[in-house]
Amino acid sequence: AARAVVTDQRCVRGKFPPDALPPLQCCPPASASEPVNFTLPDPAEPLRTRRPVHAVGAEYMAKYARAVALMKALPRSDPRSFYQQANVHCAYCTGSHRQAGRPDLGVQIHFSWLFFPFHRAYLYFFERIAAKLLGEPGFALPVWTWDVPEGMGIPEVFANEASPLYDPIREPSHAPPKVADLDYILGGGGEKNLTDEQQILHNFRVMYKQMISGATLPSLFLGQPYRAGDPEMPGAGTVEWIPHNTMHLWTGDNSRPNAENMGVYYSAGRDPIFYPHHANIDRLWESWRGIVGGRRRADFADPDWLDSSFLLYDEEARLVRITVRDVLDIGKLRYAYAGAGLPWLNARP
Ligand code: C2O
């Protein structure tokens, strides 16, 4: 029998770690109407090209900052507000949303095959909300490309205290120009103390292992199957573990008990760097499909994966049901990636 994980409209207060920072409730505003099924954007829409933060320039980053400021200025009851957008992530990681037909079980989108598709759908709407508020239909999210040397650290623009992109709850010792450590281990002895050149080479090797030599099968890259009724978090794919989780921990404030904001699921979406970070994760999924593609089928063909669905609000504040199947072709979603390259492609250790 089919066992796709289907998100129900019912949402409850989820599970938070000890010493979590409020709000400790992250369900979205109730929708007055039933969710509508997702439909693809008009194929005539301009293609949104997501480019690296380091490449787009200050004027473009000022646009992203303005979009975040506009979202922060919306009332908290508006599902498009920054407050509610951060809560979307919180709700899907604290088990707040219930599974359809299984009100005793929450939906968890980490450490399983739901990781990449959920975050793609989430960013898709976040980007369209930003574009709508800016009045720029072609606006595309900038990408924090921490796997290429020019992007290997928190971009300066996020460290400017006067910017809407600043978050005071980050690890101060990892402020720019510190080079990122892609397989960072939180806690004592976590800092590698390499030279910048050594760290970059180390990071390339990490990327090669996570994207190529360790990721030869869909389950290895995308994560383990997670079906309706299964215990949550059956197993993460290579990139979800490292560098995804590790870069969350590297960015969050290590002196806080849960490494807020970026270092823990419930608060990660509160930092405006979360979205460019996930644009990079999404870009790596697309890159991986190109690397393994041609030789074998890149994604799962399992209907339990394809029919899993999430409830998200769109740029018109309409509640939408979107499935994994809906997000597999980014061209049909009218966006693309450009401008970064894959400098680790030949970094076989
Ligand atoms: Cu949903 Cu980067 O975590």
Ligand 1 close to Cβ of residue 182 (< 6 A): no
The whole-number pLDDT of residue 189 equals 65
User: Which atom of ligand 1 is nearest the CA belonging to 109?
Assistant: 1
8 Å CB contact between 227 and 3: yes
Mean pLDDT of the chain: 96
Residues 327-333: what's their mean pLDDT? 97
Residues 121-125: what's their mean pLDDT? 98
Helical axes 115-134 vs 274-292, angle rounded to 10° = 130
Least confident of 116-125, 184-193, 213-222: 184-193
Q: Give burial (CB, 10 Å; 0-12/13-18/19+) of 343.
A: middle
User: Which atom of ligand 1 is nearest the CA belonging to 92?
Assistant: 1
The whole-number pLDDT of residue 294 equals 53
Whether 88 has a pLDDT exceeding 60, the answer reads yes
The whole-number pLDDT of residue 29 equals 95
8 Å CB contact between 334 and 254: no
Q: pLDDT tens-digit profile of 232-249? A: 999 999 999 999 999 999
In this structure, are strands 319-323 and 335-337 parallel, antiparallel, or unpaired?
Answer: unpaired
7-15+32-337 adopts what CATH topology? di-copper center containing domain from catechol oxidase (1.10.1280)
Q: Give the residue, by CA position, lying nearest to ligand 1 atom 3.
A: 265
89 is in an annotated binding site: yes
* Angstrom distance (rounded) from CA 32 to CA 206: 47
To which H or E segment does residue 87 belong?
helix 82-93
Q: pLDDT tens-digit profile of 74-83? A: 999 999 999 9
Q: pLDDT tens-digit profile of 287-319? A: 999 987 655 668 899 999 999 999 999 999 999
Percentage of residues in the chain with pLDDT exceeding 70? 98
Ligand 1 midpoint to CA 43 (Å): 29
The whole-number pLDDT of residue 219 equals 94
54 is in an annotated binding site: no
Whether 204 has a pLDDT exceeding 60, the answer reads yes
Residues 120-136: what's their mean pLDDT? 98
Say which DSSP state 187 is in.
S
The whole-number pLDDT of residue 297 equals 66
Percentage of residues in the chain with pLDDT exceeding 90? 93
Ligand 1 midpoint to CA 119 (Å): 7
202 is in an annotated binding site: no
Q: pLDDT tens-digit profile of 164-174? A: 999 999 999 99
For the chain, the first-to-last Cα distance in angstroms comes to: 44
110 is in an annotated binding site: yes
> How many CB atoms neighbour CB 88 within 10 A?
23
Supply the ipTM of this predicted assembly. Answer: 0.99
Task: Tell me how far the alpha carbon of residue 231 is from its chain's centroid.
Answer: 22
